[in-house]
Amino acid sequence: MKNIIVDAMGGDLAPQQIVYGALDAVNEDKDVKVTLVGKKDAIDGLLAEQKYSGDRIFVIDAQDVITNDESPTMAIKLKKESSLVKAFEALMSDGDAFVSCGATGAVLVGAFMKVGRIKGVSRPALAPMLPTLTGGRVILCDCGANVDCKPVHLAHFAIMASAYATAMLGVEKPRVGLLNNGVEEHKGSELAKEAYEKLKTLDGINFVGNCEARDILSGDFDVVVADGFNGNIALKSTEGAAGAVVKLILDGVNNGGLRAKLGALLLKPVLKSVKKTMDYNAYGGACFLGVNKVVVKSHGASKRKSVAASILQAKELADRNICEDIKRGIINYNSTAQEE
């Protein structure tokens, strides 16, 4: 049995969709226990309304909430009664993994301060999963936790995200690509060139070379590493462009008369499935790799399905002991790097 601590007040649709997601998760997996942290009255009300009578959902009361508008560091330091801070405390005392749909900055800072880095990890990194054209997933790491990086950080990202790919996607030797502005070996910024040299010789890492941004979703990579600034740009450009195409189609249908409307109706299952495939939030959240426990950040707009997916994902990662794998990989790398 794994105890997943969930920040019940984080996200645009909290606490309702968070509570529903927790219910779905415990119904789906008999080995999941969920501890919801947030306004107890509201949470209890939602559980009662859903007629929950099981013994695998617990509630810890927290009356305060951290919002997107606050300074993450100040909020974590000062808001001791917030659902996020109390959830991290519950995680450290009795939890196996953690899920929040709240403010990304606060979740990352909170994890950093309250959960702490795995020994030897210089920079924990945020790693979402994107769909690929071949029906698989690709992990993009880092996507915004570290805007200015050194080559060694990208080496750590490769190690951590490879462990993540193995645990989550079941890939034994994840193919790791380096986000770059060309495929040739000597392409790129100073950082990219130096990172390439490090990744090329990285023990236990299946580095397959540079990945141009247009190939992230190709299915040729299980992991793509980048500094947090570029990873963020790649992630959001992808999101923006996919959204733009969908919006243009909808606009075209709306302005296209009966023929277009009939066409859209007939094509609805296809368009729905494409939308579902491209919606990376549906697969759960982004994992914050490199801290001492499993921390999953789900999208702010997460609904019950996505909340449940994130809880089950967090449980899976705890089951598979991903933090231990990362620790081993980093210790191994750091010892070799020092011998160089």
Q: What is the dihedral of CA 170, 229, 73, 287, to 10 degrees?
A: -10
Select the residue interacting with a second copy from 247, 324, 335, 336 (CB under 8 A): 247
Q: Is 277 in the site for a second copy (CB under 8 A)?
A: yes
- Residue 48 or 244: the one with the smaller Cβ distance to a second copy is 244
- Any contact of residue 278 with a second copy (CB under 8 A)? yes
Give the range of 22-30, 109-117, 189-197, 327-335 binding a second copy by CB under 8 A. 189-197
Piece in contact with a second copy (CB under 8 A), picked from 12-20, 262-270, 284-292, 310-318? 262-270
Selected binder of a second copy within 42, 213, 282, 331 (CB under 8 A) = 213
Size of the site for a second copy (CB under 8 A): 58
Per rule CB under 8 A, is residue 244 in the interface with a second copy?
Answer: yes
**DSSP-assigned states of every residue in 133-198:** TTS-EEEEE-SSS-SS--HHHHHHHHHHHHHHHHHHH--SSPEEEEEESSSSTT-S-HHHHHHHHH
Provide the token pair at 172: 């034994």
Tokens of 141: 């790491």
Nearer to a second copy, 113 or 271 (CB): 271
- Angle, CA of 252, 256 and 258, to the nearest 5°: 140
Using CB under 8 A, which of 29, 215, 222, 325 touches a second copy? 215
Measured from the CB atom, the residue of 77 and 247 that comes closer to a second copy is 247
Return all residues near 228 (Cβ < 8 A) that are at least 6 apart. 125, 126, 142, 143, 144, 145, 146, 147, 149
Segment contacting a second copy (CB under 8 A): 152-160, 169-177, 211-219, 301-309?
211-219
Radius of gyration over every alpha carbon of the chain, rounded to an integer in angstroms: 21
Tell me the C-alpha distance between 174 and 139, whole Å: 10
| Residue 216 touches a second copy, criterion: CB under 8 A | yes
In the list 54, 77, 119, 240, the residue contacting a second copy (rule: CB under 8 A) is: 240
Q: By CB under 8 A, name the one of 1, 48, 74, 147 that touches a second copy.
A: 147
- Give the number of other CB atoms < 10 A from CB of residue 151: 18
Residue 191's nearest CA partner among 163, 235, 157, 215 is: 157
- Asked if 235 and 143 count as a contact pair (C-beta separation under 8 A), the reply is yes
Binding-site member from 1, 245, 301, 337 for a second copy (CB under 8 A) = 245
Does 208 help bind a second copy (rule: CB under 8 A)? no
In order of 125, 146, 269, 296, the CA distances from 276 in angstroms are 26, 29, 10, 21
We find the least distance from the C-beta atom of residue 118 to a second copy, in angstroms, to be 24
DSSP string, 53-92: --SSEEEEE--B---TTS-HHHHHHH-TTBHHHHHHHHHH
Q: Which is nearer to a second copy, 54 or 252 (CB)?
A: 252
| Residue 239 found at the interface with a second copy (CB under 8 A) | yes
Please tell me whether residue 192 binds a second copy under the rule CB under 8 A: yes
CB of 127 to a second copy, least distance (A): 15
DSSP symbol at 117? B
Chosen residue from 194, 212, 220, 319 binding a second copy by CB under 8 A: 212
Interface residue list for a second copy (CB under 8 A) = 133, 144, 147-148, 179, 181, 188-190, 192, 212-218, 226, 228-230, 232-249, 252-253, 256, 259-260, 262-271, 273-274, 277-278
